[in-house]
Amino acid sequence: MDVDILLGLQAFRNGSGAILAEFLSKMTFLGELNTALVIMGAIYWGISKDMGAYLMMGWSGNRLVNGVLKVTFCAYRPWIRDARIIPYGTSMTTATGYSFPSGHSMNASSVYGGGMVRRDMPAALRVTLGLILVLVAFSRLFLGVHTPQDVLVGIAAGCLVMWLTVRLMRWVEAHPEKDWVVVCAGLALATGVALYAGLKPYPADYDAEGKLIVDGAKMANDTFKGIGWCAAFLIGWILERRFVRFSTDIPMVMKVTRITVCLLCYYAVSFILVPLVKGWIGGPAGTMVSCFVQMFCVSFVFPWCFTLIEKAREKRAAVPA
């Protein structure tokens, strides 16, 4: 049934001149990992610190949930299950890891669904965010890289995690001195997921020529990424709360400056430092450490640096000429 749906969409895609496919290729970009991190980071640094922290907290939880489900069910991608399915364009390059559930759908559920589930957001904005979420999820079907159950479970699980995160952040707000409980619980979960993903057996199916169809160890790479991101956010989050305490209630010029500089630094870290760390350490440990470095910069290092710079500038401005 799920393969028949994808074949039907593929036939429509091929018959429509791929016009809709180009649009949905752009929509699927909104669910990619780096896109999610950039959006959440920009909100955190200069728009709304509380909203940004909430989104990254929920996204970190979603990366753990997605990683556990992927390595538990070990579902093969649609084109591996049925050679008739041919993904559109270069969409296969971002379709990493096992298929179930959809990582893009869960990323979109974190960023856009995260705003949609909050009742304190304007109704029009919640509807718009919900529409973006649906389009991102549908794009994975239309491009031929996920099955309907992949995206439906991805949306359901992702939005559930964000709904729970709303309540978690309210609890932290009411009990700020107990933020360490959240961090310890999260790190314990991340450690458990790492052990599970690293020690469990993976299916080993071979083609007619005796070649391994899917390398389970490589498929678990996305799970190890999520572990690194989650651990880094939790540690960076509590360190910022205890020692930095920056604010986003600042003039617009400062907001734009912060976001611009932090984005430039983010890309430098992501495309220069992260590959170096990953290559130097190697294996699952290299994946976790490199992702830890990336997220730790987003959640703590960048805020710490711009806070130091802004305070130094204020002191200089306060000195009489």
The single residue of 49, 63, 70, 104 carrying the catalytic annotation is 104
Q: For the chain, give the secondary structure using H, E and C.
A: CHHHHHHHHHHHHHHCCCHHHHHHHHHHHCCCHHHHHHHHHHHHHHHCHHHHHHHHHHHHHHHHHHHHHHHHHCCCCHHHHCCCCCCCCCHHHHCCCCCCCCHHHHHHHHHHHHHHCCCCCCHHHHHHHHHHHHHHHHHHHHCCCCCHHHHHHHHHHHHHHHHHHHHHHHHHHHCHHHHHHHHHHHHHHHHHHHHHHHHCCCCCCECCCCCECCCHHHHCHHHHHHHHHHHHHHHHHHHHHHHHCCCCCCCHHHHHHHHHHHHHHHHHHHHHHHHHHHHHHCHHHHHHHHHHHHHHHHHHHHHHHHHHHHHHHHHHHHCCC
The single residue of 146, 225, 258, 278 carrying the catalytic annotation is 146
Backbone angles phi, psi at 228, to 5 degrees: -65, -45
Structure tokens belonging to residue 176: 């700020």
- Concerning whether 175 is annotated as a catalytic residue, the answer is no
Q: Which residues are catalytic?
A: 104, 146
